[in-house]
Amino acid sequence: MSLSPTSSRVCARQAPVVLRRGCEGDSKHSGHATATVTSAFLENEYQADKNAVIFFRAGSQQYKLDFADMVQTNVVFQTQRTVIRLPKQSEGGQDRSQNTTLSHPVYPPQWDQTALPEIGFKLIQLSYDSQEYRKIETLFEKTMKNYCIDQLQRIQNPTLWDLFQWQKEKMKKIHRLKRVDERLLFHGTNPSHVSAICEQNFDWRLCGTHGTLYGKGSYFARDASYSHEYCSPRSGRYSMFVAQVLVGDFVQGSPKYCRPPARAGNSNRLYDSCVDDPTDPSIFVIFEKQQIYPAYILEYSVETSCVVKKSRDMAAAEVRSPPCHGTSSEKSMSPNYCSPAFSSTQSEKAIQADQTGTVQFQADDWHDILNNCII
């Protein structure tokens, strides 16, 4: 994705983003902000779920692209642009959008693109005020009220991610679906296993040492409180994984299962996973590790000993500004009195950075088609 040069004037209205498919090559312009997503990634996500919401960065700005409403929003300043997607035309004039495939690996836009090792993994510590952090924190705190996260790290393992995406596409083809049931689930473990899981993925022979009630596989839980029962503390801290899991079509589990049972009427087609209760599953058993991507490792402790939470609460209290009342002398005596979160210069630069003109979104890349602001 390449963005149009920013205008020297602040636009009162945003130009629409045109999602056009069918042009060749990448659009390269000097001075344009480089986006953390490619058109191939966006088109693939759109085809998989036309109601999805995608987050990406362009330069210093973070954006949200809502496929359902076809609106692109600047996450910080909430400026918006309408998105219009034009179908890709073949030589015969037919829409070939359903034939779109990824020709090269694409990694999540929130990943640090400078930390993608050919072999192994990198751990990226997340800021507690990021949306990514808050999402995991919300899931964790649903059932862990008396605990808090001390540290949350994203696991970036390109090899495991590629295998996970390959498995997802395979499951789509087998079941003739546009999307597979994928969930964020918890897995408790001993701290000594963390590095091996980050490197090699989950292995039930290593991890499944606490029972096989629903099958001989790797166990994942909807609720962090369940996984906590299988965590071993080290110096007062516990370690727990949050994994992206392709649960697919599931069935009631059994201790005798070494793999999911076959579907009725087709012995060559197995279910994708086993569960504790098919009507309201909270425990999932996965037999193929390609269906799992270890996404995050979180360290947590009892809330009373949580240093991070105390520091965050103190920081939040410090940034709360008093209302803008009082005399000039009162304001001059307090350097923090009524100080804005952003200076006028910072705000102006950020607003200008968001005036990116019209962008084309297609199967292969993003191109600029307007270089001016609409007043």
Give the residue, 307 or 138, on which the prediction is more confident.
138
Segment among 5-14, 75-84, 151-160, 344-353 with least mean pLDDT = 5-14
Of 87, 78, 84, nearest in space to 16 by CA: 84
* Structural contact between residues 182 and 244, judged by C-beta atoms closer than 8 angstroms: yes
Query: What does the pLDDT read at residue 355?
Result: 44
Q: pLDDT confidence of 87, banded at 50, 70, 90? A: low
Give the type of residue at 146: N
Q: Does residue 97 carry a pLDDT above 50? A: no
- Kindly indicate whether the domain formed by 122-302 is annotated with CATH number 3.90.228.10: yes
Query: What does the pLDDT read at residue 305?
Result: 65
Greatest mean pLDDT range, 34-38, 107-111, 206-210, 211-215: 107-111
- CB proximity list for 139: less than 8 A, separation 6 or greater: 184, 186, 224, 242
Give the residue, 353 or 260, on which the prediction is more confident.
260
| Percentage with pLDDT > 70 across the chain | 65
Query: What does the pLDDT read at residue 254?
Result: 94
Residue in the block written with tokens 């001993």: 190
**CA–CA dist 63, 79 (Å, integer):** 10
Query: What does the pLDDT read at residue 46?
Result: 81
**CA–CA dist 10, 227 (Å, integer):** 51
Domain borders along the chain are 39-82, 122-302
Give the residue, 171 or 315, on which the prediction is more confident.
171
Question: What is the chain's mean pLDDT, rounded?
Answer: 75
Q: pLDDT confidence of 1, banded at 50, 70, 90? A: very low
Distances in whole angstroms, Cα of residue 198 to Cα of each of 19, 58, 202, 241: 37, 29, 8, 10
User: What average pLDDT does the segment 55-70 reach?
Assistant: 83
Q: Does residue 225 carry a pLDDT above 70? A: yes
Query: What does the pLDDT read at residue 315?
Result: 60
Q: pLDDT confidence of 223, banded at 50, 70, 90? A: very high
* Structural contact between residues 335 and 322, judged by C-beta atoms closer than 8 angstroms: no
What CATH number labels 39-82? 3.30.720.50
Query: What does the pLDDT read at residue 5?
Result: 39
pTM score > 0.85 for this model?
Answer: no
Q: Does residue 293 carry a pLDDT above 60? A: yes
Q: Does residue 220 carry a pLDDT above 50? A: yes
